[in-house]
Each structure stands twice: as structure tokens, then as C-alpha cells.
Amino acid sequence: MISPPEYIRSIRPYVPGKPVEELERELGIKGAVKLASNENPLGPSPEARKAVSRVLSELNRYPDGGGFYLKRELSGRLGVPAESLILGNGSNELIDIAVRTFMVAGDEAVMATPSFVVYPISTRSVGGRAVEVPLRRWRHDLERMAEEIGQRTKIVFVANPNNPTGTINHDREFREFMKRVPEGVLVVIDEAYREYVQDERYPDSLEYLREGRDVLILRTFSKAYGLAGLRIGYGIAKEGIVAEMNKVREPFNTNTAAQVAAVASLRDVEHVRRSVALNEEGKNYLYGEFKRLGLQFIPTEANFIYIRLDRPMASELYDRMLRLGVIIRPMGDEALRITIGLPEENRVLVEALERVLPALR
Ligand SMILES: *Cc1c(COP(=O)(O)O)cnc(C)c1O
């Protein structure tokens, strides 16, 4: 059989979960609660739903490859020129495009671990080396990450907030870090969860764009905007960077339904506000319940909570929760990541934990 290069063979693949319907069928359960993928439990904005139904009859046409209306909407809101914007089939695709645009085999990308699993996969897919720097007190260790930047470093990935820990790096330390990043290294600032952040020390990443730095700011409609299934996100960078990335981008990478839904979602400010308020309420409820259950967790700035277990029991806990119809995400042997759901879903989660934990301790 044809064989890929060694750097492809050695990639550890991203393992997708089964469809909920399939799990329910296998386990003989109904109404499973899905708290595994950091999706918005309120669903998409009603305005987005309407916008999508209005374009159904045009789906024989190719989408607008330039994303004119969405870029115009974003440009007005962000105060950046449309030429500084690039749309992606999820911000995920933009990670991949950035890697393919700026890295060749043998180059390095610096990133934290644990962090978003797509960074090392993309890096390795072009024969790049993923330089992984352990978190420090559950946050990106920006000092060490700066130290790891070498001759072959092309990209530094910073997830802020970080997935899976939900932690942020503050504006002061981020500025110190940026002082140490040399010209010619691209800092990818992944802000997938920015709408949920409450801490006022959260950096304004657009400052670095205005200063002319080599940054690519990534944002998405998959989380607070509730459009994960449509796959749409965007990047913000100076025009020269966007122009190079556009050469590598598929001409029709974002689809018609996603583009109109994104515009409608941006205008429905109330839906985002509701989503964030619901998240705050769920977060506070779960903090209280986790404390009561003796579970250690990392305070979060996102829509999920990272739980540290006291012994390696994550996969067993996951299995038992699954059989009670609650889907969560094990993270290695000794941690879990749980998405904050609707009030009722959070209650079901807590009840399931109450039943399962005593048997495992
Ligand atoms: C969910 C997530 C994204 C968003 O991915 P999309 O491709 O836009 O759905 C990006 N970065 C991180 C860290 C995430 O957790």
C-alpha cells in the first residue's frame, strides 16, 4: 500500500466522538446530555436560523468566495479594514492555512501542553516540529515559551482562554511576552472563547495588530454564537499576512449558509448576551456543586470546566457517566473537561456524578 511520509504516520489522530443518536441506541438510553464539545446549549440565534432558511433556494450557486458581506459586518464592528480579515471553515481551518503558508518541513511551532490538540496535528502535517511547553499553574508559561523560540520557529500558538483548562494569560504578561517575540515569528492568538471571559485583565489583542506586529487573531462562531455545525470562523492580521494566507486558501472554503448565519448572529447581540449570562449562572452553580462533591476544579474564563481527579480514573468515570446518559470529555487519566450546559443539563450532570463518584473513590 502507498505509504505517507514518516511525519504523517507518526501523527496521533484526533478521535471524534460517536453521534449522540448512535450512543443512545447502543446504550439503550434516551435524551443523552452532551457536555463534551463546548457547544452553546441555547443553540443558534433565531435570526441565524431565519437567515439560513432564506438562502436554501440559492444553494445551487457557489458561495461568495470573498465573504463580502460578512467581512463588511466584521470590519465595521472591529474597526479593521476588510483586507485584514480572512474567513475559515471554522477557525480550525485557519490554523491549518497559517501552518501551510508559513512553515516548511523542519520548521518549529511553539505551543503549550495541554492545549488545543489541532496545533500539533497541523504542525506535524507539513513535517514541522511541535515544541510543547507544559502549562504552569494551569496557564500558558509565556516566559518559557519565549525562551523556546529559536532560529527555526515560525509560529507560536497561544490559546487565550486555553482549552482544556479555561485559564487566561493577562494583558501585562502577554505584553512582556510579545516584547520577546522576534520579528518574523507569527503569534497565533486563538480567542475561540473570548465572549465568555469575565476577567478584566484579558488582553486587547487588536492592539498588537495596530502596532504592526506579526499576529494572527483567531475567532469563531462555533462557541458563544452557537454555529459549530456550520463551520465558520475568522482571522485578523495585517494585510500582507492575510494576502499570503489567501493564496493557500480554497476559493470557496466557507459556505453560503455559514456566511449569512454569521452576519445574522453578529447582529443578534442579545443572543450572545443571553448565552454568556446562562454560562455565568451555570458556572456558579457547578462551582458550588463540585465543591460539595469534593471535586477539584480550575476556575474558568470559558464555557467549560477542567476537573482534576485525585487518581487515574478519568476513563472509568467517563464510561460510567456515559451509561447514565451524560457525555463528558476525559483528559488524560486524571482530568475531565465538562461543558457548562443548560440548568437542567447541569443538574442531570451533578446527579450522575453523585451516583458514580462514591463507587470510584
Ligand atoms: C473550539 C475551539 C476552536 C474553534 O474551532 P472551530 O474550527 O472554529 O469550530 C478554536 N480553538 C480552540 C482552542 C477551541 O477550543
Query: What are the pLDDT digits (tens) for 59-82?
Result: 999 999 999 999 999 999 999 999
Q: Quote the CA–CA distance of 170 and 139 in Å, as a whole number.
A: 10
Atom of ligand 1 at shortest range from CA of 190: 11
In eight-state DSSP terms, residue 213 is: -
Residue nearest to atom 11 of ligand 1 (CA): 192
At 251, the pLDDT band (50, 70, 90 cuts) reads very high
* Secondary structure class of 42 (helix, strand, coil): coil
Distance from Cα 306 to the centre of ligand 1, integer Å: 17
At 14, the pLDDT band (50, 70, 90 cuts) reads confident
Q: At what angle do helices 314-323 and 343-360 cross, to 10 degrees?
A: 120
163 lines ligand 1 (CB under 6 A): yes
Query: What is the model's pLDDT at position 145?
Result: 98
At 180, the pLDDT band (50, 70, 90 cuts) reads very high
Query: What is the model's pLDDT at position 23?
Result: 87
At 261, the pLDDT band (50, 70, 90 cuts) reads very high
* Average pLDDT of the residues in 231-239: 98
160 lines ligand 1 (CB under 6 A): no
Q: Measure Cα distances from 106 to 42, 123, 185, 233 in Å.
A: 44, 10, 15, 28
Q: Quote the CA–CA distance of 140 and 85 in Å, as a whole number.
A: 26
Distance from Cα 91 to the centre of ligand 1, integer Å: 6
Q: Quote the CA–CA distance of 288 and 301 in Å, as a whole number.
A: 16
Residue 160 has pLDDT above 80, yes or no: yes
Distance from Cα 357 to the centre of ligand 1, integer Å: 30
Query: What are the pLDDT digits (tens) for 108-144?
Result: 999 999 999 999 999 999 999 999 999 999 999 999 9
Query: What is the model's pLDDT at position 269?
Result: 98
Q: Which residue is listed with cell 476544579?
A: 297
208 lines ligand 1 (CB under 6 A): no
233 lines ligand 1 (CB under 6 A): yes
Q: Where in the chain is the domain with CATH 3.90.1150.10?
A: 16-43+270-360
Q: Quote the CA–CA distance of 74 and 70 in Å, as a whole number.
A: 6
Q: Where in the chain is the domain with CATH 3.40.640.10?
A: 46-267
Residue nearest to atom 12 of ligand 1 (CA): 192
Q: Quote the CA–CA distance of 179 and 174 in Å, as a whole number.
A: 9
What CATH code would you report for 16-43+270-360?
Answer: 3.90.1150.10
Distance from Cα 122 to the centre of ligand 1, integer Å: 13
117 lines ligand 1 (CB under 6 A): no
191 lines ligand 1 (CB under 6 A): no
Residue nearest to atom 14 of ligand 1 (CA): 192
Multiple choice CATH, 46-267, 3.40.640.10, 3.20.20.70, 2.70.150.10, 3.40.630.40: 3.40.640.10
Distance from Cα 195 to the centre of ligand 1, integer Å: 13
339 lines ligand 1 (CB under 6 A): no
Task: List 296's β-bridge partners, or say none.
Answer: 308
**Percentage of residues in the chain with pLDDT exceeding 90?**
94
Distance from Cα 46 to the centre of ligand 1, integer Å: 22
Atom of ligand 1 at shortest range from CA of 37: 1
Distance from Cα 231 to the centre of ligand 1, integer Å: 10
* Number of H-type helices and E-type strands within the chain: 14, 13
Q: Quote the CA–CA distance of 6 and 11 in Å, as a whole number.
A: 9
* pTM: predicted TM-score of the whole model, two decimal places: 0.97
Distance from Cα 3 to the centre of ligand 1, integer Å: 30
At 294, the pLDDT band (50, 70, 90 cuts) reads very high
Cβ-proximal residues to 47 (8 Å cutoff; 6+ apart), any chain: 264, 265, 267, 268, 271
Task: List 268's β-bridge partners, or say none.
Answer: none
Counting Cα atoms < 13 Å in the Cβ hemisphere of 340 gives: 28
C-alpha cell at 337: 473537561
Atom of ligand 1 at shortest range from CA of 223: 1
265 lines ligand 1 (CB under 6 A): no
Distance from Cα 194 to the centre of ligand 1, integer Å: 11
